[in-house]
Amino acid sequence: MSQLRGHPLTTARTRALRSPLSPSQARLPLGFPWLRQRVAHFVDVAERDCELMVDLQAYAAATGITFADNCAAQVYWGPVEQRRPVPLLAVNLALVPTCGEADQVLAHEFMHLRWPSYGHKAVAFQRAQGLLDRLAAPVAV
Ligand SMILES: [Zn+2]
């Protein structure tokens, strides 16, 4: 479920996801307020809630999972015997510099939240693209 450290095909499929943002919007540097708002939009279109975390040390403390330096984002449901009511979504801002890249990363992670059994099959990325297609591009970034 994490990215960049994964299989090259998974990385390529994530980078091939098409954001609904205009090219100029997609190039804008990612800021936390925009990310938080975008996550809320993904929650709506994926119909799955999550708690956004960008403090990776706090994420490690909460989950016991050390966030790999080369991992862009990760979803955490909790241990099998004690699932969290709301999964965590950790985003490594250092590896997601632009709004367009954030859309690709969020589509990938929300695909896992919505269809956890799909893994990284081709159909999973078709679903991830479907989430992006349902997002309305925000007027202001
Ligand atoms: Zn993944």
11-70 tens-digit pLDDT = 999 999 999 999 999 999 999 999 999 999 999 999 999 999 999 999 999 999 988 888
Helix crossing, 99-114 with 122-134: angle to 10°? 120
Structure tokens at 113: 């939240």
Backbone angles phi, psi at 75, to 5 degrees: -110, 140
Q: How far is the CA of 108 from the centre of ligand 1 (A)?
A: 6
CA 62 distance to own-chain centroid: 19
Please, what sign has the CA dihedral across residues 72, 95, 122, 17? positive
Structure tokens at 29: 């540097």
Q: How far is the CA of 73 from the centre of ligand 1 (A)?
A: 9
State pTM to two decimals: 0.91
| Helix (H/G/I), strand (E/B), else coil: 63 | helix
Q: How far is the CA of 125 from the centre of ligand 1 (A)?
A: 10
Query: Which of these, 24, 27, 10, 12, lies nearest to 98 by C-alpha position?
Result: 27
Q: How far is the CA of 60 from the centre of ligand 1 (A)?
A: 18
Q: How far is the CA of 109 from the centre of ligand 1 (A)?
A: 6
Q: How far is the CA of 102 from the centre of ligand 1 (A)?
A: 14
Q: What is the DSSP letter of 16?
A: T
Residue 70's CB is within 10 A of a number of other CB atoms, namely: 12
Q: How far is the CA of 140 from the centre of ligand 1 (A)?
A: 29
75-130 tens-digit pLDDT = 999 999 999 999 999 999 999 999 999 999 999 999 999 999 999 999 999 999 99
Q: How far is the CA of 70 from the centre of ligand 1 (A)?
A: 13
